[in-house]
Amino acid sequence: MLVGISCNKEPQFVTHENTTVEGVLLSAADRSPIANGKVLLLSSYHDGSLNAIWYGRSYGTRNVLNTDAQGRFSYSFKHADDTVYAMAAEADGFFANRNSGGFDYPHWRTTGLEGLKRGYKNYYNRFDDSREFVNNKGTAHYPEIRLAPEGWIKFNIRNEEPTFSNDIMKLGGEGSSGQLINFSGSNVNTQYFRGPVMAGRYVYVGYNVTSQGNFQFYEDSIFAEPHDTVTYELTY
pTM of the model: 0.76
Per-residue model confidence (pLDDT) at position 131? 45
Per-residue model confidence (pLDDT) at position 158? 95
Of the three residues 132, 147, 162, the one that is the final residue of a domain is 147
For residues 161 and 164, give the distance between their C-alpha atoms in angstroms, rounded to a whole number.
Answer: 9
Per-residue model confidence (pLDDT) at position 168? 96
User: Following DSSP, what letter does each residue of 125-157 receive, concatenated?
Assistant: S-TT-SS--EEETTEEEEEEEEEPBEEEEEEEE
- Other Cβ atoms closer than 10 A to 123: 10
Per-residue model confidence (pLDDT) at position 102? 44
Let me know if residue 1 belongs to a domain: no
181 Cβ partners below 8 Å, 6+ apart?
A: 170, 171, 172, 192
Of the three residues 131, 147, 163, the one that is the final residue of a domain is 147
Per-residue model confidence (pLDDT) at position 207? 95
Per-residue model confidence (pLDDT) at position 127? 37
Walking along the chain (236 residues) 10 residues at a time, the average pLDDT comes out as 43 56 87 92 60 50 87 85 76 77 57 49 38 58 82 95 92 83 93 92 93 94 96 96
Same domain, 160 and 207: yes
Measured between alpha carbons, how far is residue 219 from residues 136, 181, 216 in Å?
A: 48, 15, 10
Name the residue range of residue 22's domain.
18-147
Q: Which of 145, 60, 54, 148 is nearest to 99 (CA)?
A: 54
